[in-house]
Chains A and B, each alone.
Chain A
Amino acid sequence: MTTSASALATPRAERASDAESPAARPAATTGSARRSLPVDLRAVGRRFGERTVLRDVDVALRPGEVVAVLGASGCGKSTLLRAVGGLDAGHDGRVLIDGDPVRPFDERTAVGFQEPRLLPWRSIRRNVALGLPRGVSRAEGRDRVDELLRLVGLAEHAELRPREISGGMAQRASLARALARRPGVLLLDEPFGALDALTRLKMQDLLLDVHAQTCTTVLLVTHDVDEALQLADRILLLGADPHEEPEPAREGATVSRLLDVPGERPRDRASAELATLRGELLAGLGVDAHEH
């Protein structure tokens, strides 16, 4: 199709620039509006009652980059992601998407949840269509859904109901639904966490394909160090404040480290360089890496 072909051919810098403000609205035309938006987190925190879960998160996501958020269970990874998606209005600090504050259920973002969360009474095709932004014409919507179903390899199964497909397929449908919005920022909350190891590796490759085609900014929450190393440009490790070593002075997780991951994707899962980084990250997560 011409739209996807031209999107593929468009260099990343150009795409970032056509994502400038008014054009950043969901394009109602069939234009190749592949968008990648910058995200700016300023002193973002979250308290639940007396308990501080997250505090002072300052990080800037560049358009089109993949940032993985790693952290121990319950450290506020998902909370951070929900703040960026506008799913949680109760956070402190400021979240700016493309310079504008995030809105509730912001239409510039799309979320892939840990569970597929497909509507059980709708076919896969109609579930994916749920992600289409409003104002997309019927014909264009159908084309886009078809294209996405092909992209995630579900074209053959488009008419099935969610209960008739496997967990991996459901997660692919969920990813397609998120992409149907043409999000400037794709938010993925442990999307492959519930899948078996082999399916997870395949899904990681699929996500890289998708990213190569759409070039959207991706914020990926994961607890899997290898997944982060395989997919991310940068890894944000949530945890204790390194400036307060050895004893954390305050409750709540913040940016413990922000690392660049070397190498072009797809990366060799067995490379020595990544192994060193994996050891560091595991140590940062409080896990003994058992190095010989």
Chain B
Amino acid sequence: MAEATQESSRKVADQGRHQTGGTGRPEQAVGTHRSEWARKPSGPESAEESTPRRVRRIPGARPALGAVVPLILLLAWWLVTDVFGLFSSVQLPAPQDVVAAGVELHERGELGQHIAISVQRVLLGFGIGAVLGLAIGSLLGLSRIADTLLQPTIGAFRAVPSLAWVPLLILWMGIYEDSKVTLIAIGAFFPVFTAVYSALRHVDPHLVEAGRAFGLHGVRLLTTVQLPAVVPSVFSGLRLALAQAWLFLVAAELIASSMGLGFVLTDSQNTGRTDRLLLAIILLAVIGKITDALLGLVERRALTSWA
């Protein structure tokens, strides 16, 4: 039985290695960059300019290079644990043990649930926080009156370390989904709000004046000049907010939860399952990177048409 499990776990370990190292985060990230490069010189006239670059680039070279460091780390991890046995399995379990832990959780039908509930919380919280951040950031960025009226209040709320809300949120909303999603929304709100607000404040006044001089005002000025000008800042705010959302997810789940990746972390700590602990960390890295890369794809499309 034990032998059989080890045998199968080794196989899975190979697959897992391939997945996490090869196709997981590096390709997502590198893929984004590569296409960004290829697209940068837009318009037909610049085609000749970009041709030499295209010739120089070996297809797939960038994803392959991006995978080098993760593979080396994986190899080193495997060497110090499985091959040389420098650490006990409680200190640092071997990679295949971590994969085995994942398979075990999956077979019990829990892994998918943990991932799904965490992703759901992040997406909901991020969505709510980002929409509110965009709306309130635009309002304060464009209206002097709203700015004078609300900026001190929002500034004070921002000064509160967001985790300080946790006890209050639990008191008000209980330990269920609402309090977690709210906390994540708070975490996602401020980066978006700050980015939109300050970007709108700093839209080149020359461009705005030129827009006005050519007869634009009100909504048309907003959609023609001001909003396109802040698109790059808005996206950097959104990406920051997404990272914050994951941060606050773990915080919320560490404090009180019975499901989710943060729960796997605390639960494994309490039961001494370092393999599961590492599994949760790796899953957070991979899923976090995937969501960021997806947002990066949207960003790239937005930037090619607006920046």
Contacts and interface: CB of A to CB of B under 8 A. Distances in A.
Interface of A: 85, 87, 105, 107, 110-111, 113, 115, 117, 119-121, 123, 130-131, 133-134, 156-157, 159-161, 164, 177, 181
A87 B229 CA distance: 22
B207 A119 contact: yes
B41 interface: yes
Interface residues of B, number: 25
Given A113-B206, A119-B224, 14 more contacts: A87-B212, A105-B212, A105-B215, A111-B213, A115-B206, A121-B307, A123-B43, A130-B211, A130-B216, A130-B224, A159-B43, A160-B45, A164-B41, A164-B42
A159 B207 contact: no
Q: What does DSSP make chain B's interface, helix, strand, loop or mixed?
A: helix
Given A159-B43, A159-B45, A117 B210 contact: yes
B18 to A, nearest CB: 41
A161 B42 contact: yes
B176 interface: no
B43 A85 contact: no
A56 B209 CA distance: 26
B285 to A, nearest CB: 34
B157 interface: no
A164 B46 contact: yes
Given A111-B213, A177-B214, A121 B207 contact: no
Given A87-B209, A119-B207, A130-B224, A161 B214 contact: no
B152 interface: no
Contacts of A164: 41-43, 45-46
11 contacts: A105-B212, A117-B209, A117-B210, A121-B228, A121-B231, A130-B216, A133-B215, A157-B45, A159-B43, A160-B43, A161-B43
B214 A131 contact: yes
B109 interface: no
Interface of B: 41-46, 206-207, 209-217, 224-225, 228-229, 231, 305-307
Given A130-B224, A164-B41, A85 B307 contact: no
A105 B231 CA distance: 27
A119 B225 contact: yes
B228 A117 contact: no
A161 B45 CA distance: 11
Contacts of B229: 121
Contacts of B41: 164
B87 to A, nearest CB: 53
A117 B306 contact: no
A177 B45 CA distance: 22
A161 B40 CA distance: 11
A119 B210 CA distance: 9
Given A120-B307, A121-B307, A87 B46 contact: no
Contact of A117 (B206, B216, B217): B206
B214 A130 contact: yes
A85 B209 CA distance: 12
A159 B224 contact: no
A103 to B, nearest CB: 11
A145 to B, nearest CB: 13
A111 B224 CA distance: 18
A87 B217 CA distance: 13
A159 B213 contact: no
Given A87-B213, A105-B212, A131-B214, A117 B207 contact: yes
Nearest to A165: B45
A134 B306 CA distance: 23
B202 to A, nearest CB: 15
A105 B307 CA distance: 27
A157 B212 CA distance: 26
A105 B213 contact: yes
B44 A159 contact: yes
A85 B46 contact: no
B301 to A, nearest CB: 13
Nearest to A187: B213
Contacts of B45: 156-157, 159-160, 164
Contacts of A107: 215
Contacts of A113: 206, 210
B129 to A, nearest CB: 27
Contacts of B225: 119
Given A159-B45, A164-B46, A121 B206 contact: no
Contacts of A159: 43-45
In order of increasing CB-CB distance, the 3 nearest A-B pairs are: A117-B210, A121-B306, A159-B43
Contacts of A161: 42-43
A119 B227 CA distance: 12
A120 B230 CA distance: 12
| Most chain A Cβ neighbours within 10 Å, of B215, B216, B228 | B215
A78 to B, nearest CB: 12
A117 B214 CA distance: 12
A85 B215 contact: no
A278 to B, nearest CB: 32
Contacts of A177: 214
A157 B216 CA distance: 25
B206 A85 contact: no
Contacts of B210: 111, 113, 117
